[in-house]
Amino acid sequence: MVIDYRRLNDITVDDKYPLPNITDIFDKLDQKYIDAFQKCKELLTNAPLLQYPDPDKPYVLTTDASTVALGAVLSQGTIGSDKPIAYASRTLSDTETRYSTIERELLAIIWAVKHFRPYLYGHKEKMWPILMQFLRTNAPYITLPIAAVVGIIGYNLESLLSDRYTPYNKSVQDQRLDRLTSEEEILNDPTNVKKLKYQENVLGKNVSPSLEKN
């Protein structure tokens, strides 16, 4: 197992407060410093600990996206009690912050799959991105480059729907309804109509027959 201590040190900066620098400990060493040191020891030795990957078992890839960053967790085990193998995150570029919610969620999937490629490629993995099903049903509205989407086709992905975190998913379902665009709104927006026709002609997506008259 290889650990990048540079990243680990960045993460533990807050936890080690108020531990002094090594050059300061000769001046004084109060109880608060000892307590902070003990806290760091407990955080490093208690769950959740990263487990070793088992190449004979399927991986679980959980992704999410916000307006400023992407996040992903690679784990193994029964859904709901799976143990983490690795965490990953990155901030969005200025251009990516202007993506729609659907596009950011898809971007998180594409980025996470590529990031964990050494683990995932050639293995069966399960995905639990929050809006995976929403992405499927709203494919015509996704304008990410085709090459980006094609990049994950070679992976053996199995989508898991939202029974993993029930309390949160109720709000997700409500958000899905809020984001849906009616056919009438699409027809009244020439830009969207062109987008749908492009998806239909280039990507072979199914579009409502009522759009054919346009």
Is residue 15 within 8 A of residue 83, CB to CB? The reply is no
- What is the reported pLDDT for 104? 86
pTM, to two decimals: 0.50
Q: What is the pLDDT of residues 117-162, one digit of tens each?
A: 888 877 765 555 444 555 556 555 555 554 455 555 555 665 543 3
Are the C-beta atoms of residues 131 and 176 closer than 8 Å to each other?
A: yes
> What pLDDT is attached to residue 61?
85
- Tens of pLDDT, residue by residue over 163-203, are 333 333 333 333 332 333 444 444 455 555 444 544 444 44
Average pLDDT over the chain reads 66
* 3-class SS of residue 157: strand
The per-residue pLDDT for 93 is 92
Q: Which one has a higher pLDDT value, 93 or 50?
A: 93
Compute the C-alpha angle 174/146/211, nearest 5°.
Answer: 60
Residue with tokens 């959980």: 62
Q: Is the pLDDT assigned to residue 49 strictly greater than 90?
A: no
Between 46 and 135, residue with greater pLDDT = 46
